[in-house]
Amino acid sequence: MTGDGRLERLNGMLRRRGFLLPAFEIHGGAKGLYDFGPVGGRMRSRVNQRWLDHWLQLGNVVELSCPTVTPYGVLEASGHVGEFSDFMTECTTCGEASRADTLLEGHHANPDALKRDELQALLTAVNPTCPSCNDRAWTTITAQNLMFNTTIGAGDSGRAGFLRPETAQGMFTSFNALHRHFRERLPFGAMQVGKGYRNEIAPRQGMIRLREFNMAELEYFIDPEAELTDDLTPWDGRPMHLLSDMEEPAVMTLFEACKKELIRHPTVARFMGITHDFLVDVGIDPARIRFRQHEQDEMAHYAMDCWDAEIQGSYGWVECVGIAHRGCYDLESHEKATGKTLRARREFDEPRTTVIDGWTINGSTVGPTFKGLAGQVKTAVEALPKDTSFPCKITLGNDEVVEIGQEHVKPNQQTIKETGEWYIPHVIEPAFGIDRIIWHVIDHAYHETEKNGEHYTLMRLASCIAPVDYAVFPLFEKDGMGDLAWNLHQQLCGKPGIVSMYDASGSIGRRYARADEIGTPQCLTVDHQTLEDGTVTVRNRDTGEQVRIHPDTLLA
């Protein structure tokens, strides 16, 4: 943290110049909600686009856009309803609210995992003392959900739902469409930039903890048994700062980290490299990036391994990207909840033949004899060795013992040929907090210097994400310079992807200063010479150097 007021001055500038502003401020504001203003809005969309372009380079990923309004069942299946709720109870004597599971620690191995009814029953049975006033008078527990509740549809026909806490689930539920799109060939990925919502109990620290935030996620589906071909050589020359859960902080290449099994999957390592490239590309200082591995107990409910990219800024080290190996958790969960198949097929090198030579049931006798148990009898009989002699007693799956006679069984001999198998793909997920990244881009780009003995601030933003590409100034708005400058400005704005800003107010120095403050890489000034030969001066933000060019070279 900087104690010299830099953060305050930076925040003031961001508000003044229209990067970031508290949302709905004239109504008193709303915690954890921010506007990207007239300058920040453009920057946000450029970072989003840059992110998409960056991952599209993989060549086997597509972009999706799924709804933010999500039915209850989807997030119940994904585990969010369970994991994202805290059950609260209030002491009727002193009014102190407590988490029910916290009160019951020591009375159950893992109270956090209990369902609402179970937790209520345990609370009633134990009736713990209030940590605040030592009384024992608790209200009925209520679910305090970190997801925003909503109702899809009106009145009694309305269906419970939530605003999504991550973009991922829509991509999992679309798996079959993706699988078809990619001609049923893995690996492939789906990605999405969009809003996510978490009803944080206490949003803090500006852009770091938001209730509505911009996220960008890629779900990359892989065959867990396929040979791994991830190439880590592009990062051989760039050792990364790694904090693993095993060892002391280390600086080593991704290749080395994989070899030492600090990083447990090479695709995770490759995505760490790609993530690093992205962060540097949009202007994060590489010296202030590190990767930290999650401890086993802090891992999300779905993850097998997880590395956060952390960026150092005014709030210390902040996790801005999570790269998680989610295993088959998500697809399997949605399969279980829906009964639908979310699988890919893996062909065997050689067809596999299985020879079955044993017993099966004679349906016409087992059915009438065992009635409802017939299914379990079938399973048990088919597990019997071929040399079994009947009658014999067998134990069913429910521990019941039944006697099977010769009349209940018949020989089962068949050869089954399988050319492949269906499996649940595994998922590697890089998940980016775009707001946090934008915050750190700004934080790292913001420079306070002195110019002619006065304070001077400028943003050294990467030109690929700068909110304004060119600022166009007439030296004076007279002798036709104003018209020429305005024309140039309009022509520049006509170029796809280019934003120009026209500014004719104040002295030329003041206009340069304004452009520098929002990180405009180049300023074009129309002056008297422009009237003669059409050239303009181009002034570089970081060096202040000026060269004369003909604007056609920019408009080509």
Partner RNA sequence: GCGAGCGUAGUGUAGUGGUUAUCACCGGGCGUUGCCAACGCCUGAACCCGGGUUCGAGUCCCGGCGCUCGCACCA
Tokens for 296?
């086993």
Shortest approach of RNA to residue 45 CB, angstroms?
23
Nearer to RNA, 170 or 187 (CB): 170
Shortest approach of RNA to residue 523 CB, angstroms?
7
Say how far residue 451 (Cα) sits from the centre of its chain. Answer: 42
How far is Cα 59 from Cα 62, in angstroms, rounded to an integer? 9
Shortest approach of RNA to residue 438 CB, angstroms?
16
Report how far apart, in Å, the C-alpha atoms of 536 and of each of 276, 482, 494, 506, 540 are. Answer: 38, 13, 19, 19, 13
Cα atoms in the 13 Å half-sphere on the side-chain side of 414: 8
Report how far apart, in Å, the C-alpha atoms of 310 and of each of 232, 284, 317, 353, 367 are. Answer: 21, 11, 6, 50, 63
Nearer to RNA, 333 or 537 (CB): 537
Say how far residue 164 (Cα) sits from the centre of its chain. Answer: 12
Shortest approach of RNA to residue 86 CB, angstroms?
7
Nearer to RNA, 15 or 288 (CB): 15
Beta-bridged to residue 487, according to DSSP, are none
How far is Cα 10 from Cα 313, in angstroms, rounded to an integer? 12
Nearer to RNA, 295 or 349 (CB): 295
Shortest approach of RNA to residue 480 CB, angstroms?
13
Q: Is the Cβ–Cβ distance between 98 and 192 less than 8 Å?
A: no
Strands laid side by side in the 159-163 sheet: 69-71, 159-163, 149-152
Nearer to RNA, 187 or 474 (CB): 474
DSSP 86-120: EEEEEBTTT--EEEHHHHTBTTBS-GGG--HHHHH
Shortest approach of RNA to residue 205 CB, angstroms?
6
Nearer to RNA, 417 or 455 (CB): 455
Nearer to RNA, 349 or 454 (CB): 454
Nearer to RNA, 476 or 486 (CB): 476
Shortest approach of RNA to residue 520 CB, angstroms?
12
Locate tokens 């069913």: which residue?
396
How far is Cα 53 from Cα 350, in angstroms, rounded to an integer? 40
How far is Cα 354 from Cα 334, in angstroms, rounded to an integer? 31
Tokens for 324?
């998680």
Nearer to RNA, 49 or 457 (CB): 457
Shortest approach of RNA to residue 64 CB, angstroms?
17
Instruction: List contacts with RNA (CB under 7 A).
Output: 8, 11-12, 15-16, 22, 28-32, 80, 83-84, 86, 97, 99, 102, 165-166, 196, 198, 200-206, 209, 298, 300-301, 306, 308, 319, 322, 451-452, 454-457, 475-476, 505-510, 512-514, 516-517, 525, 527-529, 536-537, 539, 544-546
Amino acid identity of residue 500, one-letter, is S
Nearer to RNA, 226 or 547 (CB): 547
Say how far residue 71 (Cα) sits from the centre of its chain. Answer: 20
Shortest approach of RNA to residue 517 CB, angstroms?
5
Where do the DSSP E strands lie in 434-467?
446-451, 454-459
Shortest approach of RNA to residue 502 CB, angstroms?
11
**Residue 310, burial from CB neighbour count under 10 angstroms (0-12, 13-18, 19+):** buried
Nearer to RNA, 97 or 177 (CB): 97
Shortest approach of RNA to residue 95 CB, angstroms?
8
